[in-house]
Structure 1
Amino acid sequence: MTTRPSRPPARTVAALLLALAAAACAAPPGPGPSAAAPPGARTSATADLGPSPASLMVCAGSVPTQLSGAFGTDPATPPAGTWAQHLYTCTYAYAEGTLLITVKELADRATAAAHFEGLRGSAGPVTPVTGLGDAAYTRADGSTVVLRDGSVLTVDVHRLPERFGRPPRSRSNVSVTVATTVMICWKEHAP
């Protein structure tokens, strides 16, 4: 009879992730994107002012460093971001595959909630994730979508292998780790 190693309870894993991310974001903010307010803090997303500093944070500042530490691997090239139609996209290109982090900035929380629900409706089966942003879920491919204030964060892991990092972890674990890291950093740097 083969026994499988026991896994720590999900709450223990989540608490550990939160503690690690909070410790890394707790450093005093320096100049640049890491000192920004979270998405939704803008008065209006109707004028295209470019991505908010909080959106930029997913590609710069402490987030890439934290993700490298969490996954035990660095991207092959520095993360690169683009901005179009109120959507900031950051690409992490690893030797094993690609991780995409997007932040859709919307006019207000109600508009963001409607966008979040629209994505949920088109995602097929989803698993709710509690304690992350205002609402969150994981899709069947392991990707995580989070509603936070006037923005929707999507961590798309479908281009990563089924097991990623050192030590290897599931895609859904990777996406929840990324989303948790971003949410904690946004909270740490909120006004």
Structure 2
Amino acid sequence: MTFSTRRLSLLAVPLLLVGCSSASKSADSAARAGSTAASSMSAGQPMPAGQTMAAAAVPTATAKMVCGEDIMGKVVQVLKLTKKPATTTTWANQLYTCTYALPMGPMVLSVKQSKTSAAAKAYFTSLRSTLGPTESLVGLGEGAYRTTTGIAVVVKDNMTLKVDTTRLPAVFGPEDQKRTDLSNQIASDVLGCWTGDE
């Protein structure tokens, strides 16, 4: 079964309600030791064909959006939380990870920064083979898929986003929210920030 375009468009509606701040879209070139000019592009700006990004000493501003105020606000909005959840972050092997300590369990957002778009697509494909059965998601990034257990993965330019809700209950909350829907929703919200869709 393929994730329908209609359902995806419904998931994207909150993007119209809470836009991503322009401040968070600005790349912080000073925070990227050893990066090329390609790595100082603004979020949502595609990498020129054939351009290579050097390994970064710190995550890019684009990667850090998964733990920024805009995505935090969307998490609070979607889950109808009364306060912001605590987060913890890690950075290793060009993988930035942000773990949200939600009342119902941890949700993990991670972004793999690859040197090229081609390398990102290769990582995106290899990751899929480790997750068990998946189905394609239509209309997200340059490719996307999800699992039936609560993982959504999207590739955009040289970034691969993974939203993992597998440690949440399958269904939770007074409105019987599904963790699979949550992973798709948050992936859509992050892509909205990356591409500037508000």
Q: Give me the whole-angstrom Cα distance separating, in 1, the residues matched to 2:47 and 2:90.
A: 21
Q: Give me the whole-angstrom Cα distance separating, in 1, the residues matched to 2:76 and 2:156.
A: 24
Q: Give me the whole-angstrom Cα distance separating, in 1, the residues matched to 2:12 and 2:120.
A: 24
Partner residue, 2:154:
146
Q: Give me the whole-angstrom Cα distance separating, in 2, the residues matched to 1:135 and 1:47.
A: 23
Q: Give me the whole-angstrom Cα distance separating, in 1, the residues matched to 2:25 and 2:135.
A: 30
Structure 1 position 52 matched with structure 2 position 60: yes
On the 8 A contact 2:87/2:99 being kept in 1, the answer is yes
TM-score by length of 2: 0.80
Which stretches in structure 2 are left out of the alignment for 5+ residues? 28-41
Which one of the candidate residues 12, 15, 23 is aligned to 1:18?
12
Q: Give me the whole-angstrom Cα distance separating, in 2, the residues matched to 1:47 and 1:182.
A: 22
On the 8 A contact 1:89/1:101 being kept in 2, the answer is yes
TM-score by length of 1: 0.82
Partner residue, 2:22:
29
For each residue in 1:106-161, what CA deviation from the matched residue of structure 2 results, as whole angstroms up to 9, or x when unmatched?
A: 00110011111101122221011010111011113121011111011000111111
Q: Give me the whole-angstrom Cα distance separating, in 1, the residues matched to 2:186 and 2:82.
A: 14
On the 8 A contact 2:137/2:146 being kept in 1, the answer is yes
Structure 1 position 38 matched with structure 2 position 43: yes
Change (3 A) 1:74 1:166: farther
Q: Give me the whole-angstrom Cα distance separating, in 1, the residues matched to 2:82 and 2:111.
A: 22
Structure 1 position 87 matched with structure 2 position 95: yes
How many residue pairs end up in the alignment?
178
Partner residue, 1:186:
194
Q: Give me the whole-angstrom Cα distance separating, in 2, the residues matched to 1:157 and 1:77.
A: 15
For each residue in 1:28-83, what CA deviation from the matched residue of structure 2 results, as whole angstroms up to 9, or x when unmatched?
A: 523xx343433764964433231010111110121100111011126774222221
Which one of the candidate residues 98, 101, 108 is aligned to 2:116?
108
Partner residue, 1:167:
175
- SS of 1:92's equivalent in the other structure is strand
On the 8 A contact 2:96/2:110 being kept in 1, the answer is yes
The one-letter amino acid of 1:98's match is P
The one-letter amino acid of 1:38's match is A
On the 8 A contact 1:73/1:166 being kept in 2, the answer is no
Q: Give me the whole-angstrom Cα distance separating, in 2, the residues matched to 1:75 and 1:112.
A: 35
* Stretches (4+) displaced over 6 A: none
Partner residue, 2:145:
137
On the 8 A contact 1:99/1:156 being kept in 2, the answer is yes
Q: Give me the whole-angstrom Cα distance separating, in 1, the residues matched to 2:174 and 2:76.
A: 10
